Amino acid sequence: MIKAVESLLEAGERGFGLLFVVGEERTSAGAYRAAQTPRGSRYIINGEPTGNRLALGSKGSLRYEVVASGKMAHSAYPELGDSAIHKLVDVLAEMRRIPLPVDSLLGPSTLNIGTLSGGRAPNVVADEARADIMIRLVGDPGETKKAFAAVAAGRAELREVIEIPAVHLNSVDGIETTVVAFTTDIPAFGGQWGEPFLIGPGSIHVAHTLEERVPKQQLLEAVQIYRRMVQQLCKRESK
């Protein structure tokens, strides 16, 4: 994006800018803050990895911390305690069986148990256990939230960490399209920075892995794609 901007400036193009935000992987804090201070932009291009294809939609996310409490006891006498781990495992197993919505464009909603911790020692009945789970949303989360709350009721505390809605996006003439299952900062901007577009080099399939990388050719192609998009979008505004 920086190289595209340098090229556009050298060509005499104006009326655009760069926005850098923090916290995208956790709470989208930077995007939410930016939404409070818009600069009048009509469009915003998010550079997540899409293989240099414009995403017509992206899933949202609903993240929970699931916390179970129990009572410690010697593991030789489990009847004297109350295992928080056993409670949590049972709750998580039921959550995995909850039917999740399907969207015609975005596909199925999915659940991932990302972290799991608890207990003190193998010979102690656990008095505390917790897990972090993420649901990839494809539409209205109302019924999904009710279902998860019902499973946790009376057995574990369900703490909502963040909710980001799924989004449907538009295309630009001449650029190949795709659909992605990951979540972005786009909903956090709340439309305050203009109509959003989602495109960037690299594959999400290797993100968060030991094989994470971006092909050099896609980086070079992305410079030209961003340049062309800015020019096309600026022309829209001049008409």
Would you name the residues annotated as active-site residues? Answer: 24
| The pair of three-digit structure tokens given for residue 217, joined into one six-digit string | 């050719």
| The pair of three-digit structure tokens given for residue 52, joined into one six-digit string | 């240099």
| The pair of three-digit structure tokens given for residue 20, joined into one six-digit string | 């850098």
Sign of the dihedral defined by the CA atoms of residues 93, 142, 36, 56, in that order: positive
Assess contact for 145 and 166: CB atoms under 8 A: no
Residue 124 identity (one-letter amino acid)? V
Compute how many other C-beta atoms are within 10 angstroms of the C-beta atom of residue 11: 9
In three-state secondary structure terms, 4 is helix
What value, to the nearest 5°, has the Cα angle with vertex 121 and ends 119 and 124?
Answer: 80
Of the candidates 15, 1, 6, the residue with the CA atom closest to the CA atom of residue 234: 15
With tokens 């019902």, the residue in question is 150
What value, to the nearest 5°, has the Cα angle with vertex 128 and ends 124 and 133?
Answer: 130
